[in-house]
Amino acid sequence: MRRRTWTTALALAVCAGLAPVTAAGATTAPHRPGPLPLERLFDNRAVSDDTAPGAADFDGAGGSLSAQDLTAAGWTPGTRLGVEGARLTWPRTAGAGPDNVRADGQRVRVTGRGDALAFLVAGTGGDAHGSGTVRYADGSRSTYSLTAPDWRTGPLATKSVALPHRNTPGGQLTEKTRLYVVTVPVRSGHRISSVDLPRATGGSPALHVFSLSVRAATTGWTGTWAASPAGYTTVGPWIDRTVRLVVHSSVGGSRVRIRLDNTFASTPVRVGSASVAVQGAGAEARGKPVRLTFRGARGAVLPAGGQAYSDPVGFRVPADTSLLVSFHLPEPVAAAPVHSQAIQTSYVSEPGDHAAEAAGSAYTSTISYWPLLTGVDVGGGPGSVVLLGDSITDGVRSTRDANRRWPNVLATRLLAQSDVPRYGVLNEGISANRVVADRYPGDGVSTDTGGVSALHRLDRDVFSQTSARSVVVFQGVNDVRWGASAEQVVAGLREIARRAHARGLKVIGATITPCEGEALCTAAADAERVAVNGFLRGPGSGFDGVLDFDAVIRDPERPSRMRAEFDSGDHLHPGDAGLAALADSVNLRLLAP
C-alpha cells in the first residue's frame, strides 16, 4: 500500500511537472523535456482577423497584427519565406491560434549545418535582448546573442515586413507594425542538433519567435554579380511586361542561378517566367535564352520582404561578359526595390512574355536602373569578394555601358593572375550611402535611393552573399560631408569589422579619398576625413588590412584635393582613369582569407 501510494504520488508529480520525490524523501533536479519543434512550443497569439481584433494578445495589452495586412503582403499561413539566404516558414496557425513562442530558455529541435541561425522575431514592450545556446551533434556548444526589435518602434531600415495597422480590442488603429529576420553566426561545418532560446528576465521586454532555421552554408557556388537594393521607387507601371536587365559577370561557370529580392516592399510581386542569355547587341541575345525555374515552377511569387533563387541550370557563363537576365511581370507592378545607379542601359518590352526570345525587337523602352534582381551565381569557383561602398564603388561618373567601375577592373585583374584564387567580385556600392545613417528610411515609396546605412544593410548585402570570403569597406565620405564626426564613423567601421569577423570573414578597410572643390567637402569635413584615415592606417583598427586609396588619388601638392587626371570633373568622383588606379593599387593577396 505504501509503495502504491508513493508510486501514485510520483506519477502525479511528474504529470504536474513537479520535481520527482525519491524514496528517501529527497528531490532530484526537474526533468527537462527533450527538444521540441518550435510550433509545439507556441504559447502566444500575435495575429487576429480584422473582424475580431481582440482575439489575439501579442503584447499583453491586447494588441495584435492584422491577418488581412499579412495576406496583402503575401505572408499567408504556411508561406515559405526566403530572407537573407535563409528559408523560414510563416506559422500555419497565424490568425487561428498560437503562432509564436515567448522565448524563455525553451529547447527547440533544429538540425542541419550552416553558417548562421535565422530567427523570425519581434519584441513587445521594447527591444528584447537575450542570449541562448546552440547545441551540436558532437556534444559541443556555442552561445549567441539575439536582439528582437520592438514590433511598434523598431527600425524600419532593418525590418523584413512592415504592416499598416495594429489591431486592438477596441478596433483597428492606423499604426505601423513590423517583423524582423535576425541572423546569428554558428560554428560552420558543425551539425546542429538543437537550440536553446534566450531566457526571459523578469520585467524585460518579451522576445517572440515565429520561425527558426539553419541557414545552409553556400557550397558549390560563387557570386559573379550583385547589386544592392538602394530604395523603393515608382516604376512603370508595368502590366504584362518583360524586363530585360544587362549585368556584367566577373567570373564564369558552367551552371547559373539568379536571385530576386522584394526588399522594402509592402506587397508581393509575381514573376511569370525568367531566362538568362549572353548579350549580343542591345536587347538582343547571343543565342536562345535559357529558361529558369523556381523550385520546379516556371515562375515565383516574392512576398513583401522576400527573395527567391532560381533553380540551378546548365548554362555556360563566360567570365567578364555582359548577360541578359529577363523576367516577365504578368500582374501590375507600380513600385519596386531598385538599384538606381546601374550606369547601364537595360530594357522593358511591349506587352507579353518575351523572356525566351533571342530577338530584342519587343524591347521598345529603356531603363537606367536594376529592379528586383540582386544576384547572379555560377557553379563552382573559389567564392567571392564583397565590396561594400558608396557612389565611387557604384561607378558614378564612369563611362556608361562600359563596365569601368573599379570593381570591374579589379575583377579583370583577378582573372589575369594566379597568385590568389580568381574570386568573384560583388559590387555592393550604393550612391549617397553612409556608414552610420540611413538615406532611404527603409520603408515606403521614396525618391531617395541612397539606401539604408552600411550598418543596417550589412547582413543582407555582405553576410548573406554567395560564398563571401572577404569584404572591402570603402565608405565614410558621405558621412563626413553631411556632418558626421570622425568618432561616429570610426565607431561604425569598428562595428562592421567586429561583426564581419564574427561571421568568419576577412575584412579590409579602404581610406577615404579627398574631395576638395565639391560643395560639401569643406575644410571641416576634410579634417574629419583625415582623422578617419588615421584610424584606418593605425594599429588597433580591427581591420585585417588597409587599401590606401587616399594616397593613390590625392594630389601630392594639395592632399585635400584629387589629382586632376583622376577627377571626373565634380571633384568627388574619380573618372575612368582614377577608378582604374584604385583597382590597380589593390594588393590582391589582402583579399585571400
pLDDT band at 204 (very low <50, low <70, confident <90, very high): confident
Q: What is the 3-class SS of 174-194, one letter each residue?
A: CCCEEEEEEEEECCCCCCEEE
Instruction: Please tell me what DSSP assigns to residue 52.
Output: S
The pLDDT assigned to 218 comes to 86
pLDDT exceeds 60 at position 22: no
Cα–Cα dist 6/1, whole Å: 9
237-255, pLDDT tens digit by residue? Answer: 999 999 999 999 999 999 9
pLDDT band at 33 (very low <50, low <70, confident <90, very high): low
The pLDDT assigned to 32 comes to 57
Give the whole-number percent of the chain exceeding pLDDT 90.
Answer: 92
Burial class of 365 by CB neighbour count within 10 A (0 to 12, 13 to 18, 19+):
exposed
CA atoms within 13 A on the CB side of 460: 31
Q: What is the 3-class SS of 295-347, one letter each residue?
A: CCECCEEECCCCEEECCCEEEEECCCCEEEEEEEECCCEEEEEEECCCCCCEE
Query: What would the mean pLDDT of 274-300 be, rounded to a whole number?
Result: 98
Checking DSSP bridges between strand 384-389 and strand 468-474, what pairing results, if any? parallel
Query: What would the mean pLDDT of 114-126 be, rounded to a whole number?
Result: 97
Q: What is the 3-class SS of 117-132, one letter each residue?
A: EEEEEEEECCCEEEEE
Q: Do the beta carbons of residue 426 and residue 384 sit within 8 Å?
A: yes
Query: What would the mean pLDDT of 317-327 be, rounded to a whole number?
Result: 98
Task: For the beta carbon of residue 34, count every other beta carbon within 10 angstroms.
Answer: 8
Task: For the beta carbon of residue 200, count every other beta carbon within 10 angstroms.
Answer: 16
Q: How far is CA 509 from CA 115, 501, 578, in A?
A: 23, 13, 19
227-239, pLDDT tens digit by residue? Answer: 999 999 999 999 9
pLDDT band at 201 (very low <50, low <70, confident <90, very high): confident
Residue type, 452: V
Q: Residue 525: helix, strand or coil by DSSP? A: helix
525-565, pLDDT tens digit by residue? Answer: 999 999 999 999 999 999 999 999 999 999 999 999 999 99
Q: How far is CA 431 from CA 115, 226, 335, 448, 475, in A?
A: 30, 15, 20, 10, 11
270-282, pLDDT tens digit by residue? Answer: 999 999 999 999 9
The pLDDT assigned to 23 comes to 32
Least Cα distance to 234 among 361, 153, 338, 357 occurs for: 338
Q: Residue 166: helix, strand or coil by DSSP? A: strand
pLDDT band at 321 (very low <50, low <70, confident <90, very high): very high
pLDDT exceeds 70 at position 435: yes
pLDDT exceeds 90 at position 31: no
Which residues in 524-575 belong to E strands, given as ranges? 545-547, 554-555, 558-562
Task: For the beta carbon of residue 95, count every other beta carbon within 10 angstroms.
Answer: 24
Task: For the beta carbon of residue 536, count every other beta carbon within 10 angstroms.
Answer: 23
488-518, pLDDT tens digit by residue? Answer: 999 999 999 999 999 999 999 999 999 999 9
62-118, pLDDT tens digit by residue? Answer: 999 999 999 999 999 999 999 999 999 999 999 999 999 999 999 999 999 999 999
Q: Which residues contact 436 (CB under 8 A, 6 or more apart)?
A: 453, 454, 455, 479, 484, 488, 489, 491, 492
Rounded (10°) CA dihedral 75, 81, 82, 88: 140
The pLDDT assigned to 8 comes to 34
Least Cα distance to 376 among 317, 429, 418 occurs for: 317
Expressed in angstroms, the distance from the first to the final Cα of the chain is 71
Q: Do the beta carbons of residue 211 and residue 429 sit within 8 Å?
A: no
The pLDDT assigned to 202 comes to 75
Cα–Cα dist 525/40, whole Å: 56
The pLDDT assigned to 400 comes to 98
pTM: 0.93
Joined grid coordinates for residue 482: 553631411
170-188, pLDDT tens digit by residue? Answer: 999 999 999 999 999 999 8
9-13, 437-441, 534-538 — which is least confidently predicted? Answer: 9-13
Cα–Cα dist 432/45, whole Å: 41
The pLDDT assigned to 14 comes to 34
pLDDT exceeds 90 at position 593: no
Query: What would the mean pLDDT of 411-437 be, rounded to a whole number?
Result: 98
The pLDDT assigned to 4 comes to 35
Least Cα distance to 341 among 231, 440, 421, 426 occurs for: 231
Q: Do the beta carbons of residue 21 and residue 9 sit within 8 Å?
A: yes
The pLDDT assigned to 203 comes to 80
**Mean of pLDDT over the chain:** 94
Site of grid cell 574619380: 574
